[in-house]
Amino acid sequence: MGKPADDVLLDVRGLSKHFGGIRAMSGVTFSIPQGSIISMIGPNGAGKSTFVNVVSGTHVPDAGEVHFQGEDITGLPGHVIAAKGIGRTFQLLELFGSLSVLENVMVGCHTRSRSGMLACGFSLLSALKEEKRIKEEAMESLAMVGLEGRAHDPIYRLPLGERKLVGIARALGMKPKLLMLDEPAGGLAAHEVEGLARLIHLLVERGLTLFIVEHNMPFVMSLSRRIIVLDEGMKIAEGPPEEVRANEEVIKAYLGEEVC
Ligand code: ADP
Ligand code: MG
């Protein structure tokens, strides 16, 4: 495979994944430039979450390659990929309901912690210092998503929109270069979606690259430089929003669904 252009952050080639007899993703190829907002849309079951799971190391692909910052990271374990700078949120959130907002975000920061499970090799003082640093970083992440005031509330008290922000804060705790959001706008009220769009722009201003998976088009149309469309595991279109919106194949894939 040829060397990707310098400003390419993530490059995927021929990525495929089957679950038993189900072809969840097949031969998906595209790249994400540094500093951009790139989105992926497609009907339910199109393979969007599978794509995020394979790139972030939750699943190992059957075929294809994933290159991040020019390095082949295909099939590496999730925590290794996270440490290299790919953060993600989960469509089904995967938060700890009984823990506080702050504790949930600290879980993300711990994946970068030098001690963690290996704390036995550290002095108690350095472990305590590390704990303090992690808490401060988690508070910074919470402040970024506007939830510092809810740090000590248990997750189960928060409405869905705020829980989704906690998921983003947790991913930010890992100091990612690429942040992959799986359906961040799903189930949110209109004013929450506006807040989310502002947050995404703020993150890009701070140097992050965003990859957003969404089921519906309107939210991503206004945000994205380019949109990838998946249908039945395959990429059926890619281009700027206005081009994708007018694409015949895309319209056909969404037939019976609300597009715009
Ligand atoms: P999307 O996120 O676009 O709605 P998914 O990637 O979740 O789609 O799913 C694509 C297909 O793969 C679906 O048919 C789904 O049922 C299947 N699938 C996804 N994850 C798994 C899994 N862990 N085990 C079995 N089948 C799966
Ligand atoms: Mg999904």
Are 66 and 137 part of one and the same domain? no
d(CA 171, CA 182): 12
Q: Report yes or no on 46 lying in a domain.
A: yes
The range of the structural domain enclosing residue 217 comes to 1-85+176-260
Are the CB atoms for 102 and 142 separated by under 8 Å?
yes
pLDDT, residue 133, reads: 87
Are 162 and 183 part of one and the same domain? no
Residue 16, beta-bridge partner list: 63
For 4-13, what is the mean pLDDT?
Answer: 84
pTM of the full structure: 0.90
Are 40 and 71 part of one and the same domain? yes
Is a pLDDT exceeding 90 seen at residue 117? no
Are 242 and 192 part of one and the same domain? yes
Are 66 and 195 part of one and the same domain? yes
Task: Give residue 249 CA to ligand 1 midpoint distance, Å.
Answer: 21
Are 207 and 242 part of one and the same domain? yes
Radius of gyration of the chain (CA): 19
Are 186 and 129 part of one and the same domain? no
Ligand nearest 183 Cα, by number? 2
Q: Return the closest-CA partner of residue 117 out of 102, 107, 125.
A: 107
For 184-199, what is the mean pLDDT?
Answer: 91
Are 211 and 232 part of one and the same domain? yes
Are 70 and 184 part of one and the same domain? yes
Residue after which a domain boundary falls, among 150, 173, 196: 173
Are 260 and 180 part of one and the same domain? yes
Q: What is the pLDDT of residues 139-191, one digit of tens each?
A: 999 999 999 999 999 999 999 999 999 999 999 988 999 999 999 998 888 88
| Greatest Cα pair distance in the chain | 63
Residue 22, beta-bridge partner list: 19
Are 122 and 54 part of one and the same domain? no
Pocket of ligand 1 (CB under 6 A): 19, 22, 24, 42, 44-50
The vertex-179 CA angle with 173 and 182, nearest 5°, equals 110
Task: Give residue 138 CA to ligand 1 midpoint distance, Å.
Answer: 31
pLDDT, residue 260, reads: 47
Q: Report yes or no on 54 lying in a domain.
A: yes
pLDDT, residue 123, reads: 66
Q: Report yes or no on 93 lying in a domain.
A: no
Instruction: Please report, for residues 78, 85, 126, 206, the alpha-carbon distance to residue 112 in angstroms, rounded to integers and kept in the order given.
Output: 13, 10, 15, 20
Task: Give residue 23 CA to ligand 1 midpoint distance, Å.
Answer: 9
Q: In this structure, which residue's CA is closest to atom 11 in ligand 1?
A: 24
Report the CATH number that the domain containing residue 244 is assigned in CATH.
Answer: 3.40.50.300
Is a pLDDT exceeding 50 seen at residue 1? no
Q: For the chain, how many structural domains are there in total? A: 2
Residue after which a domain boundary falls, among 140, 173, 206: 173
Are the CB atoms for 143 and 172 separated by under 8 Å?
no
Q: Report yes or no on 91 lying in a domain.
A: no
d(CA 212, CA 169): 15
Q: Report yes or no on 92 lying in a domain.
A: no
Residue after which a domain boundary falls, among 173, 194, 229: 173
Is a pLDDT exceeding 70 seen at residue 244? yes
Q: What is the pLDDT of residues 40-63, one digit of tens each?
A: 999 999 999 999 999 999 999 999
Are 257 and 181 part of one and the same domain? yes
